[in-house]
Amino acid sequence: GNSVTQMEGPVTLSEEAFLTINCTYTATGYPSLFWYVQYPGEGLQLLLKATKADDKGSNKGFEATYRKETTSFHLEKGSVQVSDSAVYFCALSDAGGTSYGKLTFGQGTILTVHP
Amino acid sequence: EAGVAQSPRYKIIEKRQSVAFWCNPISGHATLYWYQQILGQGPKLLIQFQNNGVVDDSQLPKDRFSAERLKGVDSTLKIQPAKLEDSAVYLCASSLTQILAGGRNEQFFGPGTRLTVL
């Protein structure tokens, strides 16, 4: 079945540091890949997505590239801010079969950014 | 545009009691999802509706969990009787349709209901 594995957390950085959160996946077919973010006390929000190999999703300074050869979708940001402190989830949605668009999530990575 | 609404936001019950959660999706969204998020884990799909029909309930513990979506709009998720391991955040999400498979159709999440079973 489908699965998503994220790097272990929590991750603690200083403001303006470079961020990488690793994500790898296992899926049948050709999944779409997502990063969701959950700020304290709020619901999940879509951060970015990529629907086919070599696509790059980007939003709010975050980027992730769909790498089919390495089955990865690592999240990066060049300079993090305190306001980026949140839990980040990598997820996939399988295009075929009976998945009907359901999301399979990784376990989440807690990011804390200090001033 | 109003987002996905859920209530209550928090619920504390004793084990073996019953509990119900309510979700109102974004207007016009045909597909509705219930996810369970246990502390320290990612959300896991419990059930998915397309309009008022169930399209995936393979991970729903049907001996104690039930869900309905009457008239294809609001949905209710019920647990009866609750167990300690049901303590989690229950997330409702909606999307325009499931037809655009492969994630081309964004899911919008509600704030969740945090359930504590004592």
On chain B, the residues whose CB falls within 8 A of the CB of A51 are: 102-104
Q: Do B101 and A101 touch (CB under 8 A)?
A: yes
Query: What pLDDT sits at residue B101?
Result: 47
On whether any CB of chain B is under 8 Å from the CB of A111, the answer is: no
Q: Name, of A60-69, B25-34, B105-114, the range with top average pLDDT.
A: A60-69
Interval B32-49: pLDDT, tens:
999 999 998 899 999 999
Tokens encoding B95 = 């999307």
CB nearest B109 (choices: A43, A92, A106)? A43
Interval A51-60: pLDDT, tens:
889 999 999 9
- pLDDT category, B104, cuts 50, 70, 90? low
Task: Compare all CA atoms of chain A with the CA of B40 and give the residue at the minimum distance.
Answer: A107
Interval B45-84: pLDDT, tens:
999 998 889 988 999 999 999 999 988 899 999 999 999 9
Going by their DSSP bridges, the two strands B88-95 and B113-117 should be labelled as antiparallel
For residues A25-52, average pLDDT: 90
On chain B, the residues whose CB falls within 8 A of the CB of A104 are: 45
Going by their DSSP bridges, the two strands B75-79 and A32-38 should be labelled as unpaired
SS3 string, A50-70, reads ECCCCCEEEECCEEEECECCC
Query: What pLDDT sits at residue A41?
Result: 81
For residues A4-14, average pLDDT: 91
CB nearest B95 (choices: A4, A101, A106)? A101
Going by their DSSP bridges, the two strands B5-7 and A44-50 should be labelled as unpaired
* Mean pLDDT across chain B: 91
Query: What pLDDT sits at residue A18?
Result: 97
Query: 3-state SS of chain A: helix, strand, coil percent to 5?
Result: 5, 50, 45
Q: State yes or no: pLDDT of A31 exceeds 80.
A: yes
Number of Cα atoms under 13 Å in the Cβ half of residue B50 = 11
On chain B, the residues whose CB falls within 8 A of the CB of A34 are: 103
Interval A62-106: pLDDT, tens:
999 999 999 999 999 999 999 999 999 999 987 654 556 788 999
Task: Compare all CA atoms of chain B with the CA of A52 and give the residue at the minimum distance.
Answer: B102
Q: Do B102 and A101 touch (CB under 8 A)?
A: yes
Query: What pLDDT sits at residue A46?
Result: 93
Q: Compute the radius of gyration of chain B from its Cα atoms.
A: 14
Q: Do A93 and B101 touch (CB under 8 A)?
A: yes
Query: What pLDDT sits at residue A95?
Result: 60
Q: Do the Cβ atoms of B59 and B45 come closer than 8 Å?
A: yes
